[in-house]
A and B are shown apart, each in its own frame.
Chain A
Amino acid sequence: MSLQLINLSKHFEDSENATLREINLEIESGEFVCIVGASGCGKSTLLNLVAGLIEPSGGQILLNGKEITGPGADRTVMFQDHGLYPWLNVIDNVKFGMKLAGVSAEEQEEKAVHYLKMVNLLDYRDYPIHQISGGMRQRTALARALTMDSEVLLMDEPFSALDKQTSNRLRQELQQIWMETKRTILFITHSVEEAVYLGDRVVVLSLEDKAPEIVNIDLERPRHVYSPEFVELRRGILAKIRGEEY
């Protein structure tokens, strides 16, 4: 399976310039791809296009060769501000997607417990959303996203609203989960460190109309952010974002 973006463009009606122009990208099954770029370069726009929440102005998105025409459970999104439902407690939030899909109550319970365990949140299963911390909310959202068994998991800066310590811990956990479950993940972040830490490849979107640059991260996992190779990759990508020659 693969996710293909072919000559993908997006020009919002009320903006002067196109936000995304002729983007080409192919993501293989089980790949962890990170997208970085300056604020306003169109990262969220790209993710919303793949999610089917907005329509492209040109080009196509193919999932397993089939064109994407709208949102669907095969491309679950995890948002920056969790998108959990305040009228449901933790476990019912995790079950929400399965309930929509008509999964049986026993299977819902079983899977919800499984993933809550995975994100270390089983003790909080009956808590209302407003009584758990921001980090726990993102974990709940992650567990909910994982229950969907989507072809692709789309994540738009899921940890960026959290403090550094919490976000570091969550990215470690996410990596662990990804290695266990081998999901295909398209991960957006403004943190180059996070991208290099998590991704098989890092896609650098530019603010201008330049084609995105792709950097392969061939480092063993888990990666060490202070290793020379890591620092070097990180510096190179930062320079690309700033538009400098490196």
Chain B
Amino acid sequence: MSIVIFLCILLALWQGFYWVFVDLMEVFKPYSVPSPLGVGERFVELLSDGTLLQATGNSLLRGIAGYLIAVLLGLAVGLLINHFKYLQKNLKPLILGIQTLPSVCWVPFSILWFGLSTQAILFVVVMGAAFSIAISVDNAIKNVQPIYIKAALTMGAGKRQLYRHVIFPACLPELVTGLKQGWSFAWRALMAGEVMTTSIGLGQTLILGRDLADINQVMLVMVVIVVVGIVIDKCIFSVIEKKLLVKRGLWVQGH
């Protein structure tokens, strides 16, 4: 509850600032400073003509599609670098390096290879998320307590059984944390990809706002991007994470 009050205070201060410095004293130009009322007005307009819902829906679909590909790729690469010592030694440092690239760096490649298409956006999303997922898969498997594996081995577990009945369930909480982080990378990469294209989406609506010198629309889209990101994080990943930890007695209140 306290956060709602805090946000209201923040909004009031912001609106007050706008009235004083933009409306009254004219220190800043109105096209360079958004205001809560202006953003709200734009919100109602874009909502009623359907643009906002369509843009959000498109972005979400692309984000999820790209993310799912990234998860498959990340799991595969993560398992491979975990399983083969050679790859662990030689490929993992490379992946760690690539992972530090901001996803916008993949935009030139994606345009050259795929043109201004949905595939181009998906490519940026996959590149932005897959490597971080691969690294977290590898780390999660490495962090499985050796005694879990030893115990299973002395009960006759084969390689397959070890992965299915021990390693997978043991690293599940950490895996979900990795997938959550992967999603936040994917969502950010999506925006990097979308601002370059002309097909309807949040990123494109944002750039459109800039082109129309409509700072309120720019701000509105930014808010929507944040809200969607938070909702998915809190309503999906954090819920699963908590469930897993509670079941194992690892959940610490307020942690």
Is B249 in contact with A87, judged by CB distance below 8 angstroms?
A: no
CB distance from B233 to the nearest CB of A (A): 24
The answer to the question of B153 belonging to the interface, with a C-beta cut-off of 8 Å to chain A, is yes
Q: Which of chain A's residues have a CB closer than 8 A to the CB of B148?
A: 83, 85
Is A79 in contact with B151, judged by CB distance below 8 angstroms?
A: yes
10 more contacts with CB within 8 A, not counting A87-B169, A128-B249, are A52-B153, A70-B153, A71-B150, A77-B154, A79-B147, A83-B151, A97-B156, A100-B156, A130-B249, A144-B155
The answer to the question of A242 belonging to the interface, with a C-beta cut-off of 8 Å to chain B, is no
Is B150 in contact with A130, judged by CB distance below 8 angstroms?
A: no
The answer to the question of B22 belonging to the interface, with a C-beta cut-off of 8 Å to chain A, is no
Q: 10 A-B Cβ contacts within 8 A?
A: A71-B150, A71-B153, A71-B156, A77-B150, A83-B150, A84-B151, A85-B166, A96-B152, A97-B155, A128-B249
Residues of B120-159 at the interface with A, using a CB-CB cut-off of 8 Å, are 147-148, 150-157
State the CA gap A146–B216 with chains docked (Å). 70
The answer to the question of B68 belonging to the interface, with a C-beta cut-off of 8 Å to chain A, is no
CB distance from B166 to the nearest CB of A (A): 7
**A96 in contact with B165 given A73-B155, A83-B147 (CB within 8 Å):** yes
Q: Which of chain B's residues have a CB closer than 8 A to the CB of A105?
A: none
Q: Which residues of B contact A (CB under 8 A)?
A: 147-148, 150-157, 161, 165-166, 169-170, 172, 247-250
State the CA gap A171–B157 with chains docked (Å). 28
Q: Which of chain B's residues have a CB closer than 8 A to the CB of A128?
A: 247-249
Q: Which of chain A's residues have a CB closer than 8 A to the CB of B247?
A: 87, 128
What is the total number of residues of chain A having a CB less than 8 Å from a CB of chain B? 29
State the CA gap A23–B59 with chains docked (Å). 68
The answer to the question of A170 belonging to the interface, with a C-beta cut-off of 8 Å to chain B, is no
Which has the most chain A C-beta neighbours within 10 Å: B156, B169, B249?
B156
CB distance from A162 to the nearest CB of B (A): 17
Partner of B154, one of A71, A87, A99, A129: A71
**A100 in contact with B249 given A71-B154, A73-B156, A85-B148 (CB within 8 Å):** no
CB distance from B162 to the nearest CB of A (A): 9
The answer to the question of A112 belonging to the interface, with a C-beta cut-off of 8 Å to chain B, is no
Partner of A101, one of B154, B156, B248, B249: B156
State the CA gap A108–B161 with chains docked (Å). 17
Q: Which of chain B's residues have a CB closer than 8 A to the CB of A84?
A: 151
The answer to the question of A222 belonging to the interface, with a C-beta cut-off of 8 Å to chain B, is no
State the CA gap A94–B26 with chains docked (Å). 75
Chain A, residues 170-205, CB within 8 Å of chain B (1/0): the string is 000000000000000000000000000000000000
State the CA gap A168–B166 with chains docked (Å). 32
Partner of B153, one of A53, A81, A86, A131: A53
Q: Which of chain B's residues have a CB closer than 8 A to the CB of A97?
A: 155-156
**A99 in contact with B248 given A53-B154, A73-B154, A148-B155 (CB within 8 Å):** no
CB distance from B222 to the nearest CB of A (A): 40
Is B166 in contact with A76, judged by CB distance below 8 angstroms?
A: no
Is A100 in contact with B155, judged by CB distance below 8 angstroms?
A: yes
CB distance from A86 to the nearest CB of B (A): 4
Residues of A51-78 at the interface with B, using a CB-CB cut-off of 8 Å, are 51-53, 70-73, 75-77
Q: Which of chain A's residues have a CB closer than 8 A to the CB of B154?
A: 51-53, 71-73, 75-77, 154
State the CA gap A131–B248 with chains docked (Å). 9
Q: Which of chain B's residues have a CB closer than 8 A to the CB of A87?
A: 169-170, 172, 247-248
Is A79 in contact with B156, judged by CB distance below 8 angstroms?
A: no
State the CA gap A131–B250 with chains docked (Å). 11
Is B157 in contact with A100, judged by CB distance below 8 angstroms?
A: yes
Partner of A72, one of B147, B156, B169, B250: B156
Is A85 in contact with B156, judged by CB distance below 8 angstroms?
A: no
Select from chain A the residue with minimum beta-carbon distance to B248: A86
State the CA gap A101–B161 with chains docked (Å). 10
State the CA gap A102–B165 with chains docked (Å). 13
Q: Which of chain A's residues have a CB closer than 8 A to the CB of B250?
A: 86, 130
Chain A, residues 204-221, CB within 8 Å of chain B (1/0): the string is 000000000000000000
Q: Which of chain B's residues have a CB closer than 8 A to the CB of A99?
A: 165
State the CA gap A81–B147 with chains docked (Å). 8
Which has the most chain B C-beta neighbours within 10 Å: A51, A83, A101, A131?
A83
Q: Which 7 A-B pairs have the closest CB atoms?
A: A130-B249, A73-B156, A83-B151, A97-B155, A71-B153, A86-B248, A77-B154
Which has the most chain B C-beta neighbours within 10 Å: A53, A86, A101, A154?
A86
